[in-house]
Chain A
């Protein structure tokens, strides 16, 4: 079975500072993909960043980057220059190459302090 663990139920960060959200996963698949989704108070699920497991290079999308440690099965999200609009629930998710649904972690609620 595939699992995703987010060990930080809540995190906070000062505006303009950097924060890292943790995620670990477990899978027996060799071909898989990892995602971070953001869910603001509006409850819309927004894709933040995506990482293919076969790629060693960490994905980056503007202020968002990941630290993908395949051997440790770790996939943390770093948010740089945090903005008030970054306040949301963040979900880490694991998918494989088939049509099976993503496996989500329980989420981390991020607060941004002005």
Chain B
């Protein structure tokens, strides 16, 4: 149980393109989802926390107009990288958790984004 599906796993696109990444909780309802960015050989950097039906909470330094997050249902959150540039190239990974206290975060398999 507790499977999180993230799609696509790999994106290569031209500079200026907008890219949408989907994160789905397949067998549980996720009231809260998290989006992370990971640079090579580093830890996960939290970008934002999204709660179903409300605006996402962005971490300091993360441009909310660049990284649009939508959490329209209890099983789906999307991250859209708008007008992507080469410096946005990175590994993005989503995570979901049920609201019960002490439950771990379950992670998607990540999306490797390459902007040419």
Contact = CB atoms under 8 A, between A and B. Distances in A.
Size bin of chain A's contact surface: 20 to 34
Interface in B72-100: 91, 93, 95, 97, 99
A102 B105 contact: yes
B65 to A, nearest CB: 22
Given A45-B110, A50-B104, 14 more contacts: A43-B93, A45-B107, A97-B101, A98-B101, A99-B31, A99-B32, A101-B49, A102-B104, A104-B44, A105-B43, A106-B43, A107-B42, A107-B43, A109-B41
The binding surface of chain A is classed by DSSP as: loop
A91 interface: yes
B102 interface: yes
Nearest to B106: A47
Interface of A: 31, 33, 35, 37, 42-45, 47, 50, 52, 91, 93, 95, 97-102, 104-107, 109
A91 B102 CA distance: 17
A101 to B, nearest CB: 5
Interface of B: 31-32, 34, 38, 41-44, 46, 49, 51, 91, 93, 95, 97, 99, 101-102, 104-107, 109-110
Contacts of B51: 99
B99 A101 contact: no
B109 A33 contact: no
B9 to A, nearest CB: 10
Contact of B93 (A45, A52, A101): A45
B108 to A, nearest CB: 8
B109 A44 contact: yes
